[in-house]
Amino acid sequence: MLSIGAVLNVLREEFPEVTISKIRFLESEGLVEPRRTPSGYRKFSAEDVERLGHVLRMQRDHYLPLKVIREHLAAMERGEAVPLPALSRAGDGEDPAECVPEKPTAARIGRCQLLAAGVDEQRLAEWESYGLLVPVGDGVYDAEAVTVAGLLMELGRYGIEPRHLRAMKAAAEREAGLVEQVVAPLRRHRNPQTRAHAEDRTKELAGLTTKLHAALVRSALGVRLP
């Protein structure tokens, strides 16, 4: 039985972009079910690691969404000999409006809406495999995903590929973790007004860290933007 860190080291031999967050996300989506120790630590079997590799391979090589991968694995577990499904992409005879859409909200957007914004399935699957876009549920993304997708496409026009952006993603996660450390005591406070203040503090700190990050990049490049 392996810890999640040991599993990460094994998978990175073939999937250098995989992260612990990605493994936890696949677990939350029911694609792997590691055992838990009495103290709550995950323990993965060799079969779990093989299954994770199979999932990551289907994402990377066949650009399949998690829902399709889940159905494929379930069929395999039933002993059915099923070929990998051919993915129909938006723009190749499929109207994104015809898929079952999630109703967009101020904080969430469905996969269909994201595809309708000009993102194709292959590109979206690649971004997901590098952790640049991560669904918050089955076929549902944070509304900020539209902005992220647009910026990724713009960078792609300059030859900057998803694999080049892993460090930027890691830096963003560290910055988010720092903000979480600051606001966590407010969110745990007994006073409801104090807990409500945590959201405002989070937005304020997010704005400051974003401005600092942009200023540091400009300083490193020696450029001044208008």
The predicted-structure confidence for 177-210, as pLDDT tens digits, reads as follows 888 888 888 888 888 888 778 888 888 998 899 8
Last residue of a domain, one of 113, 139, 160: 160
Report how far residue 93's alpha carbon sits from residue 108's, in angstroms, rounded to the nearest whole number: 27
Report yes or no on 141 lying in a domain: yes
Backbone phi, psi, residue 155, to 5°? -65, -35
Residues with Cβ within 8 Å of residue 165, at least 6 apart in sequence: 130, 132, 152, 155
pTM: 0.52
Say if residue 146 is in the same domain as residue 171: no
The number of folded domains in the chain is 3
Q: Is the pLDDT of residue 92 over 80?
A: no
Q: Tell whether 114 and 156 lie within a shared domain.
A: yes
Question: How sure is the predictor about 46, in pLDDT bands with cuts at 50, 70 and 90?
Answer: very high
Q: In this structure, is residue 109 part of a structural domain?
A: yes
pLDDT 10s digits, 76-88? 888 876 666 544 4
Are 200 and 179 within one domain?
Answer: yes
| Burial label, 200 (beta-carbon count in 10 A; 0-12, 13-18, 19+) | exposed
Residue 89 belongs to some domain of the structure: no
Whether 152 and 179 map to the same domain: the answer is: no
Residue 103 pLDDT class (50, 70, 90 cuts)? very low
Check residue 33 and give its pLDDT. Answer: 92
Contacts of 129 (CB under 8 A, 6+ apart): 15, 17, 56, 59, 60, 162
* Residues 106-123, mean pLDDT to the nearest whole number: 74
Q: Same domain for 27 and 42?
A: yes
150 shares a domain with 100: yes
Domain extent, residue 176, equals 164-221
State which of 77, 104, 137 marks the end of a domain.
Answer: 77
22-46 mean pLDDT: 88
